[in-house]
Amino acid sequence: MSNIVAVVGRPNVGKSTFFNRLIKRREAIVDAVSGVTRDRHYGKTDWNGKEFSLIDTGGYVVGSDDVFEAEIDKQVELAIDEADAIIFMVDVESGVTGMDEDVAQLLRKVKKPVFLVVNKVDNNKRLEDAVEFYSLGLGDYYAIASINGSGTGDLLDAVVEALPEKEEIEGDELPRFAVVGRPNAGKSSFINALIGEDRYIVTDIAGTTRDSIDTKYNRFGFEFNLVDTAGIRRKTKVKDDLEFYSVMRSVRAIEHCDVCLLVLDATRGFDGQVQNIFWLAERNRKGIVILVNKWDLVDKDTKTAKEFEQHIRKQIAPFTDVPIVFISVLNKQRIFKAIETAVEVYKNRTKRIKTSVLNEALLPIIEHQPPPANKGKFVKIKYIMQLPTPQPQFAFFCNLPQYVKDPYRRFLENKLREQFDFNGVPISVYMRKK
């Protein structure tokens, strides 16, 4: 489980620049294949080998500064509730403002680690000006310039040092299936239909489920936890504090589950917000099942299931090996099929393939279609093994790993999927030096 660090502060102090700097550093290494940060205000990063999730709260407030003043207190309170550590950013150019003092007043009561960060300190004169921030009563501060990264190293050293150790989830704990999606897609109704009792209040008001709630569920001789999450709402709509809260909660639910059941409303389609949730799950390397709900309301002449499915697969390329189940929660159509599929995906995600079996299946294919020669040098893949990680990752040992390009990696991933069923599960392929 990774810790959550929230970055709070009034507008234009440089929170997003700081956030982007940390995430890009990490994205550059991790997401070289997908290559796109699809959600601007949430990301994973690591420092000194310790991984944590970073949330830029500024991304969740839209509107003028006066709207912001009312919002910022709520935001900070929520960050205090949900995050494991808080970075409070201020701006040396404008000095201490009334809004900074309000935030400081909230943060002084907090039992969690709070880091006061004075941004835009890029010369000695400004270093002297930063002293006035002692008046906020939060003790020492870190002077940084997020635009060029100076000072961020010391800050991050202190942040990871202060993060609580997360206990690893016990091996015998039940698998967790998180039901995610935007508000009103039918997540709570889906869970009610499965359990057969109104365990949740289901109303037509978007976003009534504010928290993630766990339910033990036993069916098909398979026991697991169902996690209902607050609907993740489009960023521009996250106006009230509870919305922001639900985003943070959903992030946590996705991070700590094994399989995401992504419920979408067929009448709205696979829109940008649903795609964001999909990529959030994919980036966290979770199993994914896409459930197209309210299929009974779609006019079948215009959209057949096949067309609808092709449209979704186009949006999620290159990771298209994902099960899509058309359901109607209202008519209890195919809802158990949805759960059976999730169980299959869970088994795929936890599958271990013997090294001998892997090599027998893949080496002949690789010999027949080796990586293209690069600068007259030939890459020879000698040996393959699955790494001992919670999700499927494979190491291909070869003489010149640096010459194996993305298209060939994708070829290897596709062959792995053809030979062994990894439906619904992101897999990682690494080239290692033999």
We report the CATH number of the domain holding residue 330 as 3.40.50.300
| Closest residue by Cα to residue 233 from 203, 272, 270 | 272
Q: Rounded to whole angstroms, how far apart are CA atoms 337 and 1?
A: 30
Residue 9, marked binder: yes
Region 327-356: mean pLDDT is: 92
Which range (224-233, 248-257, 331-340) has the least confidence?
Answer: 224-233
Q: Are residues 273 and 316 in the same domain?
A: yes
Reduced to 3 states (helix: H, G, I; strand: E, B; else coil), residue 378 is coil
Q: How many folded domains does the chain comprise?
A: 3
Residue 424, marked binder: no
Region 133-158: mean pLDDT is: 93
Residue 196, marked binder: no
Tell the residue number behind the tokens 């980036």, with chain if given.
283
Q: Are residues 236 and 313 in the same domain?
A: yes
Answer yes or no: is 391 within a domain.
yes
Residue 230, marked binder: yes
406 near 33, Cβ under 8 Å? Answer: yes
- What tens digit of pLDDT does each residue of 273-282 get? 788 788 888 9
Question: Looking at per-residue confidence, does 253 or 414 come out higher?
Answer: 414
Residue 229, marked binder: yes
Residue 15, marked binder: yes
We report the CATH number of the domain holding residue 411 as 3.30.300.20
Residue 300, marked binder: no
Region 324-345: mean pLDDT is: 92
Answer yes or no: is 283 within a domain.
yes
Q: What is the DSSP letter of 328?
A: B
Residue 149, marked binder: no
Residue 286, marked binder: no
Q: Is the pLDDT of residue 65 over 60?
A: no
Give the residue from 284, 318, 350 where a domain finishes: 350
**pLDDT above 90 as % of the chain:** 42
Q: What is the pLDDT of residue 250?
A: 66
- What tens digit of pLDDT does each residue of 391-404 get? 999 999 999 999 99
* Stretch (H or E) spanning 53: strand 50-56
Residue 11, marked binder: yes
Question: Looking at per-residue confidence, does 28 or 336 come out higher?
Answer: 336
Q: Rounded to whole angstroms, how far apart are CA atoms 299 and 317?
A: 26
424 near 288, Cβ under 8 Å? Answer: yes
Residue 60, marked binder: yes
Answer yes or no: is 39 within a domain.
yes
At 247, the pLDDT band (50, 70, 90 cuts) reads low
Question: In 88-225, where does DSSP find H-type helix?
Answer: 98-108, 124-129, 152-162, 187-195
Question: Looking at per-residue confidence, does 67 or 259 come out higher?
Answer: 259
Question: Looking at per-residue confidence, does 43 or 345 come out higher?
Answer: 345
At 423, the pLDDT band (50, 70, 90 cuts) reads very high
21: left (phi over 0), alpha (psi -120 to 50) or beta: alpha
- Burial of 376 (C-beta count, 10 Å sphere; 0-12/13-18/19+): exposed
Q: Are residues 220 and 321 in the same domain?
A: yes
Q: Is the pLDDT of residue 411 over 90?
A: yes
101 to each of 79, 113, 119, 188, 279, how far by Cα in Å? 17, 18, 16, 41, 37
Residue 181, marked binder: yes
Q: Which two tokens stand for residue 197?
A: 């009792």
What backbone phi and psi angles, to 5 degrees, belong to 88?
A: -105, 115
Q: What is the pLDDT of residue 192?
A: 79
Q: Rounded to whole angstroms, how far apart are CA atoms 210 and 228?
A: 10
Residue 293, marked binder: yes
Q: Is the pLDDT of residue 422 over 70?
A: yes
Q: Which two tokens stand for residue 348?
A: 């795929």
258 near 177, Cβ under 8 Å? Answer: yes
Q: Are residues 149 and 48 in the same domain?
A: yes
At 290, the pLDDT band (50, 70, 90 cuts) reads very high
At 188, the pLDDT band (50, 70, 90 cuts) reads confident
Answer yes or no: is 212 within a domain.
yes
Answer yes or no: is 169 within a domain.
no
Q: What is the pLDDT of residue 1?
A: 56
Q: Rounded to whole angstroms, how far apart are CA atoms 342 and 260?
A: 8
Give the residue from 315, 350, 385 where a domain finishes: 350
Q: Rounded to whole angstroms, how far apart are CA atoms 44 and 53?
A: 4
- Tell me, rounded to whole angstroms, the distance of Cα 256 from its chain centroid: 10
10 near 68, Cβ under 8 Å? Answer: yes
Predicted TM-score (pTM) above 0.75: no
Residue 279, marked binder: no
Region 79-108: mean pLDDT is: 88
Q: Is the pLDDT of residue 158 over 50?
A: yes
Residue 16, marked binder: yes
Q: Are residues 152 and 274 in the same domain?
A: no
Domain containing 308: what range? Answer: 176-350
- What tens digit of pLDDT does each residue of 10-53 get? 878 888 788 888 876 544 333 333 333 334 466 778 888 888 88
Q: Are residues 273 and 324 in the same domain?
A: yes
Residue 58, marked binder: yes
Residue 265, marked binder: no
Q: Are residues 63 and 191 in the same domain?
A: no
Q: Is the pLDDT of residue 228 over 60?
A: yes
Reduced to 3 states (helix: H, G, I; strand: E, B; else coil), residue 387 is coil
93 near 125, Cβ under 8 Å? Answer: no
Tell the residue number behind the tokens 């294949």, with chain if given.
33
Q: Compute and round to an integer the Cα radius of gyration of the chain.
A: 24
Residue 135, marked binder: no
111: left (phi over 0), alpha (psi -120 to 50) or beta: alpha
| Closest residue by Cα to residue 80 from 103, 63, 97 | 103
Residue 122, marked binder: yes
Question: Looking at per-residue confidence, does 89 or 25 come out higher?
Answer: 89
Q: Are residues 150 and 195 in the same domain?
A: no
Q: State which amino acid sits at residue 271.
A: D
Residue 231, marked binder: yes
Averaged confidence pLDDT in the chain? 81
Residue 228, marked binder: yes
Residue 49, marked binder: no
Residue 146, marked binder: no
Q: Are strands 287-293 and 324-326 parallel, antiparallel or unpaired?
A: parallel
Q: What is the pLDDT of residue 89?
A: 93
Q: Is the pLDDT of residue 304 over 60?
A: yes
Q: Which two tokens stand for residue 182?
A: 């935007």
Q: Is the pLDDT of residue 315 over 60?
A: yes
Region 141-170: mean pLDDT is: 85
Region 188-196: mean pLDDT is: 80
Residue 171, marked binder: no
Q: Is the pLDDT of residue 9 over 90?
A: no
| Closest residue by Cα to residue 158 from 1, 43, 48 | 48
Residue 63, marked binder: no
Q: Are residues 193 and 290 in the same domain?
A: yes
Q: Are residues 210 and 342 in the same domain?
A: yes
Residue 98, marked binder: no
Q: What is the pLDDT of residue 303?
A: 65
Q: What is the pLDDT of residue 292?
A: 95
Q: Are residues 344 and 207 in the same domain?
A: yes
Region 207-218: mean pLDDT is: 59
Residue 21, marked binder: no
Q: State which amino acid sits at residue 125.
A: K
